[in-house]
Structure 1
Amino acid sequence: MSETAVNRLYLMQVGDMPEYHIPIVCYLVQTENGKNILIDTGLPETMPAEETDFENGKDVIQQLASIGLTPGDIDMVVSTHYDIDHAGRHAAFTRAEYVVQRAHHQDAVAGNPRFAPLQPEWDQPLERIRLIDGDTELLPGLHLIETSGHVKGHQSVLLRLPKTGLVLLTVDAVNFAEGFTRDVPPDERQPDPEKAQASTLKLLDLAEREQIPLVIFGHDQAQWQNLKQLPEHYD
Structure 2
Amino acid sequence: MNQHTPQRLYLMQVGDMPEYQIPIVCYLVQTSAGQNILIDTGLPELMPEEAADFANGQDVITQLSRIGLQPADIDTIISTHYDIDHAGRHAHFPNAQYIVQRAHHLDAQSNPRFAANRGQWEQPIERIRLVDGDTELLPGLELIETSGHVAGHQSVLVRLPQTGAVLLPIDAVPFSADFIRDKADPENPDAAAIQASTIKLLDLVEQEQIKLVIFGHDHQQWQALKTLPDFYA
* Counterpart amino acid of residue 205 in structure 1: D
Per the alignment, residue 229 of structure 1 pairs with 227
Kindly indicate whether the alpha-carbon contact (under 8 Å) linking 2:15 and 2:56 is maintained by their aligned counterparts in 1: yes
Kept in 2: contact 1:81–1:100 (CA 8 A): yes
CA distance, structure 2, for counterparts of residue 187 and residue 86 of structure 1: 26
Structure-2 separation of matches of 1:175 and 1:220: 7
In the alignment, the residues of structure 1 paired with residue 201 and residue 51 of structure 2 have an alpha-carbon distance, to the nearest angstrom, of 31
Give the corresponding residue for 2:123: 124
Structure 1 partner of 2:156: 157
Match of 2:213 in 1: 215
Q: Which amino acid aligns with 1:114?
A: R
In structure 1, the residue matched to 2:146 is 147
Secondary structure in structure 1 of the residue aligned to 2:150? coil
* Maintained 8 Å contact 1:42/1:84: yes
- Specify the alignment match of 1:105 in structure 2: 105
The alignment of Structure 1 onto Structure 2 pairs a total of residues equal to 231
1:129-153: CA deviation from partner (whole Å, max 9, x where unpaired) = 0000000000011000000000000
CA-CA distance at 1:49 after TM superposition: 2.5
| Structure 2 residue ranges without an equivalent (≥5) | none
What SS does the corresponding residue of 1:114 show, helix, strand or coil? helix
- Structure 1: which amino acid aligns with 2:158? L
Question: Equivalent residue for 1:96?
Answer: 96
Give a deviation string over 1:65-98, Cα, whole Å, max 9, x none.
1111000000000000000000000000110000
Deviation at 1:4, TM superposition (A): 7.6
1:183 maps to amino acid: D
Q: Which residue of 2 aligns with 1:180?
A: 179
| CA distance in 1 between partners of 2:84 and 2:45 (Å) | 11
2:201 aligns to what SS in structure 1?
helix
Looking at structure 2, the residues matched to 39 and 62 of structure 1 have their Cα atoms a distance apart, in angstroms, of 16
Q: Give the equivalent residue in structure 2 for 1:28.
A: 28
In structure 1, C-alpha distance between the alignment counterparts of 2:228 and 2:186, rounded to whole Å: 32
> For residues 17 and 8 of structure 1, what CA distance do their matches in structure 2 show?
28
Deviations 1:117-140 (A, max 9, x none): 000100000000000000000001
Cross-structure match for 1:72: 72
- Per the alignment, residue 8 of structure 2 pairs with 8
Say whether 1:205 aligns with 2:203.
yes
Tell whether the 8 Å contact from 1:37 to 1:75 is kept in structure 2 after alignment.
yes
TM, length-normalised to structure 1: 0.96
* 1:159-201 per-position Cα deviation (integer Å, ceiling 9, x unaligned): 1000000000000000111110112114634x52110110000
Residue number in structure 1 paired with 2:59: 59
Q: Secondary structure at the match of 2:107?
A: helix
Looking at structure 1, the residues matched to 184 and 105 of structure 2 have their Cα atoms a distance apart, in angstroms, of 28
Which AA in structure 1 matches 2:65? A
In the TM superposition, residue 50 of structure 1 has moved relative to its aligned partner by 3.3
Cα separation, 1, equivalents of 2:115 and 2:182: 35
Q: CA–CA distance in 2 between the matches of 1:166 and 1:130?
A: 24
Q: CA contact under 8 A between 1:37 and 1:78: conserved in structure 2?
A: yes
Q: TM-score, normalised by structure 2?
A: 0.97
**TM superposition outliers: structure 1 runs of 4+ over 3 Å:** 186-189
RMSD over aligned CA atoms reads 1.2
